């Protein structure tokens, strides 16, 4: 009756007891260890000491499990952004904190981050919607103090800043900046980007 095991673990009970959570936990681990390409439902079931058909009692298919992980990821991501935002008072510092949190999340959960922003169903996209609200709020605050042009649609500004952060996250995650022969940390990446974006 114990909960999700982490290594190929033999069960005494016929029912696992908490397979759904164990699948999510295990999938998260396997994703972190092997990446999306190396993620296999069969291997996951094996690791949990359960038959390869068992996961289908909890998820329609492999993609549904990944979708669930995405939704979970968006919640984590949104929480991280919101937490980071609370420490800052100045709108510039706020945007900086959000940016660093953005890159940090991408660096700490590279596989989940990758899956979250890969081609997924509409349900996943909808789940992601609230995640980025802190960013829009911060942009509006920055407009109020003149750090961003007041006359422009805040959604347009948010989109640009979001894209900049996202691009930094994606490119640094896959060592894209190696091509420019600079290898700065998240802090510097965000600082330099905001130096250009804000006034």
Partner DNA sequence: GACTGCATGTTGACGACTTTAACATTCGCC
Partner DNA sequence: GGCGAATGTTAAAGTCGTCAACATGCAGTC
Q: Does 17 bind DNA (CB under 7 A)?
A: yes
The CB-of-14 to a second copy minimum distance in angstroms stands at: 35
Identify the burial level of 190 via C-beta atoms within 10 angstroms of its C-beta, where 0-12 means exposed, 13-18 middle and 19 or more buried. buried
One of 125, 138, 140, 186 touching a second copy (CB under 8 A): 125
What number of chain residues touch DNA (CB under 7 A)? 27
Q: Which residues of 71-83 are buried (b: 16+ CB within 10 A; e: fewer)?
A: bbbbebbbebbbe
User: Three-class SS of residue 41?
Assistant: helix
Residue 179's φ and ψ, nearest 5 degrees, are -65, -25
Q: How far apart are CA 197 and CA 175, in angstroms?
A: 23
Residues in 54-93 at the binding interface with DNA, rule: CB under 7 A:
54, 56-58, 60-63
Residue 15 binding target from a second copy, DNA, none, CB below 5 to 8 Å by type: DNA
Residue 10 binding target from DNA, a second copy, none, CB below 5 to 8 Å by type: none
Q: Does 39 bind DNA (CB under 7 A)?
A: yes
75 neighbors 69 (Cβ within 8 angstroms): no
Q: Which residues contribute to the site for a second copy (CB under 8 A)?
A: 35, 37, 114, 117-119, 125, 128-129, 131-132, 136, 148-149, 152, 155-168, 170-171, 174-182, 189, 192-193, 195-197, 199
């Amino acid at each position: 009756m114990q909960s999700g095991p982490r290594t190929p673990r033999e069960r005494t009970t016929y029912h696992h007891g908490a397979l759904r959570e164990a699948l999510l936990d295990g999938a998260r681990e396997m994703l972190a260890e092997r990446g999306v390409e190396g993620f296999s439902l069969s291997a996951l079931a094996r690791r949990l000491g359960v038959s390869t058909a068992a996961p289908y009692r909890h998820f329609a298919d492999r993609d549904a499990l990944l979708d669930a992980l995405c939704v979970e990821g968006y919640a984590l991501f949104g929480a991280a952004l919101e937490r980071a935002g609370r420490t800052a008072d100045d709108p510039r510092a706020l945007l900086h904190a959000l940016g660093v949190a953005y890159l940090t999340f991408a660096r700490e959960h590279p596989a989940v981050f990758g899956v979250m922003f890969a081609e997924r169903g509409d349900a996943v996209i909808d789940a992601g919607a609230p995640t980025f609200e802190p960013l829009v709020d911060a942009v509006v605050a920055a407009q109020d103090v003149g750090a961003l042009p007041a006359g422009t649609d805040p959604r347009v500004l948010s989109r640009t800043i979001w894209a900049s952060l996202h691009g930094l996250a994606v490119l640094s995650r896959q060592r894209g900046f190696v091509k420019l022969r600079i290898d700065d940390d998240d802090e510097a990446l965000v600082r330099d980007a905001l130096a250009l974006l804000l006034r």
